[in-house]
Amino acid sequence: MAARISYDDVEVGTELPVQSFPVTRATLVRYAGASGDFNPIHWNEKFAKEVGLPDVIAHGMFTMAEAARVVTDWTGDPGALVEYGVRFTKPVVVPNDDEGAVIEVGGKVAAKDDEARTVRVDLLVRSAGQKVLGMSRAVVRLA
Amino acid sequence: MALDQSFVGRTYPATEPYEVGREKIREFADAIGDANPVYTDPEAAKALGHPDVIAPPTFVFAITFRAAGQVVQDPQLGLDYDRVVHGDQKFAYTRPVRAGDRLTVTSTIETIKSMAGNDVVTVRGEVHDETGEHVVTAHTMLVARATEEA
CB-CB under 8 Å, A62 with B86: no
Q: What is the structure's pLDDT at B136?
A: 98
CB-CB under 8 Å, A88 with B89: yes
Q: Which domains does chain B have, with CATH numbers?
A: 9-21+57-144 (3.10.129.10)
CB-CB under 8 Å, A60 with B30: no
Cβ(B126)–Cβ(B104) below 8 Å: no
Q: Which residues contact B36 (CB under 8 A, 6 or more apart)?
A: A72, A73, A78, B29
At residue B148 the predicted structure's pLDDT band, cuts being 50, 70 and 90, is low
**pLDDT above 80 (res B2):** no
Cα A14 from Cα A109, distance rounded (Å): 5
Cα A22 from Cα A101, distance rounded (Å): 6
| A25-35 and B22-31 helices, crossing angle to 10° | 160
Q: Regarding the domain delimited by A7-141, which CATH topology (the fold level of the hierarchy) does it fall under?
A: Thiol Ester Dehydrase; Chain A (3.10.129)
CB-CB under 8 Å, A37 with B57: no
Cα A52 from Cα A31, distance rounded (Å): 23
CB-CB under 8 Å, B54 with A78: yes
Cα A92 from Cα B141, distance rounded (Å): 19
Q: What average pLDDT does the segment B108-133 reach? A: 95
CB-CB under 8 Å, A86 with B58: no
Of the residues A1, A43, A133, the best mutation for testing chain B's interface (the one with the most B CB atoms within 10 Å of its CB) is: A1
CB-CB under 8 Å, A65 with B32: yes
> Nearest-CA neighbor of B88 among A57, A133, A131, A70?
A133
Q: Is A45 exposed, middle or buried (0-12, 13-18, 19+ CB in 10 A)?
A: middle
How many Cα atoms within 13 Å fall on the side-chain side of residue A68? Answer: 31
Cα A109 from Cα B97, distance rounded (Å): 25
Residues of chain B found within 8 Å of residue A88, distances taken between Cβ atoms: 85-89
B61: left (phi over 0), alpha (psi -120 to 50) or beta: alpha
Strands (DSSP E) along A1-143, which ranges? Answer: 15-23, 81-88, 101-113, 118-127, 130-141
Map residue A108 onto helix, strand or coil.
Answer: strand
Q: Where are the domains of chain A?
A: 7-141
Q: How far is A132 from chain B (nearest CA, A)?
A: 12
Inter-chain contacts counted by CB atoms under 8 A, chains A and B: 103
Q: How far is B77 from chain A (nearest CA, A)?
A: 22
Question: Whole-angstrom distance between the N-terminal and C-terminal Cα of chain B?
Answer: 9
Lowest mean pLDDT among A66-75, A104-113, B5-14, B78-87: B78-87
CB-CB under 8 Å, B96 with A35: no
Q: How far is A88 from chain B (nearest CA, A)?
A: 6
Rounded to 10 degrees, the C-alpha dihedral B142/B30/A119/A137 comes to -30
Per-residue pLDDT of chain A (143 residues; tens, 9 = 90+): 557 899 999 999 999 999 999 999 999 999 999 999 999 999 999 999 998 999 999 999 999 999 999 999 999 999 999 999 999 999 999 999 989 999 999 999 999 999 999 999 999 999 999 999 999 999 999 99
Of the residues A72, A103, A121, the best mutation for testing chain B's interface (the one with the most B CB atoms within 10 Å of its CB) is: A72
Cα B41 from Cα B62, distance rounded (Å): 22
B91: left (phi over 0), alpha (psi -120 to 50) or beta: beta
Q: What average pLDDT does the segment B23-37 reach? A: 98
Question: Whole-angstrom distance between the N-terminal and C-terminal Cα of chain A?
Answer: 8
Q: How far is B90 from chain A (nearest CA, A)?
A: 4
